[in-house]
Amino acid sequence: MNDAIDISHVRDAAFTAEVEARSGQKVASCYQCGNCTAGCPAGFAYDMQVSQIMRGVQLGLKDSVLKSRSIWMCLSCSTCSQRCPNNIDVAAVMETLRHMARKEGHITVPKVEKFWLSFLNTVRAFGRSYEIGTMVLYMMRSLRVYTDVDLAPTAFAKGKLGLLPHLTPGGAEPVERIFRRYRERAKREGGRP
C-alpha cells in the first residue's frame, strides 16, 4: 500500500473550472516555472509553495489546496503576479482560493482569520479601524494575550496608538448597515460572513 494520490479518483475538474471562473485567470497557462515561488516573501511560512498550489489547482486537488496553510499566509503583495511570465494574476488565484476555503469552512490558520475579523469588527463598530480595539479583540479571540506587548511601551510613548477610537463624523451607522446587509446576504447564500 503506498500513499500515492489516485489522480483518476481525486481529480476534480469542476474545482479547477470554478477557480478559473472566479479568479478570471487561466490556470492552465501556468507552466510551472516557479517564478511565483522564487519571489514570494511568505513562502517560508507556506506548507505548499505557491507554484505547488497552482499545480494543485491545475490537477483539481481541491482538498489539499483548500486546506493548505499557504492560502492564509499569502501577503497579497502581488510579486508573483508582477513577474509571472504567463501573465497569470497568481495573487488573485490565491485570494479566490481563500474565499472558497472560507465558504467550505476550511480555516486552516484560524489566527489569521481572527485578526481579520477583529479588524473588521472595529470597522463595523466605529466606521474606521481602531488599532487598540483590533488588538484587544484579537487577543481575546486568539487567546494570544502577549501579542506585541514588547511594542506597547514605545507605541504608547510615541503616541502611535490612540487609546480611543476615532469615530466617523456623522456616525458609523452607514458602515454598520453595509456590514449588516453583507452578513444577511452571506447567511442567505450559505457562505461564512
**Touching another protein, residues 80-99 (CB under 8 A):** 81-87, 89, 91, 95, 98-99
* Shortest Å, Cβ 9 to another protein: 23
Q: Which residue type sits at 72?
A: W
Type of residue numbered 7: I
| Phi and psi based region of residue 48 (left: phi greater than 0; alpha: psi -120 to 50; beta: remaining) | beta
User: Of 1-9, 11-19, 56-64, 176-184, which segment contacts another protein by CB under 8 A?
Assistant: 176-184
Binding to another protein by CB under 8 A, coded x per residue (else -) over 119-158, reads xx--x---xxxxx--xx--x---x----xx-xx--xx--x
Minimum distance between the CB of residue 20 and another protein, rounded to whole angstroms? 16
Least CB distance to another protein at residue 191 (A): 8
Distance of alpha carbon 193 from alpha carbon 106, whole angstroms: 13
Place of cell 481525486: 10
Separation between Cα atoms, residue 103 and residue 109, nearest integer Å: 15
- What are 151's three cell numbers? 511594542
The grid coordinates of residue 185 equal 446576504
Nearest distance, CB of residue 13 and another protein, angstroms: 24
Please identify, using beta-carbon distances, which residue of 13 and 182 lies nearer to another protein.
Answer: 182
Distance from C-alpha of 39 to C-alpha of 170, rounded to nearest angstrom: 44
Q: Between residue 31 and residue 90, which ones bind another protein under the rule CB under 8 A?
A: 31-45, 48-49, 51-52, 73, 75-79, 81-87, 89
Q: Please count the other Cβ atoms lying within 10 Å of the Cβ belonging to residue 164.
A: 9
Nearer to another protein, 17 or 154 (CB): 154
Binding residues for another protein, total number by CB under 8 A: 84
Judged by CB under 8 A, the stretch of 3-11, 13-21, 28-36, 57-65 that binds another protein is: 28-36
Residue where the block lists cell 481602531: 130
CB closer to another protein, 11 vs 107:
107
Separation of alpha carbons 35 and 51, rounded Å: 8
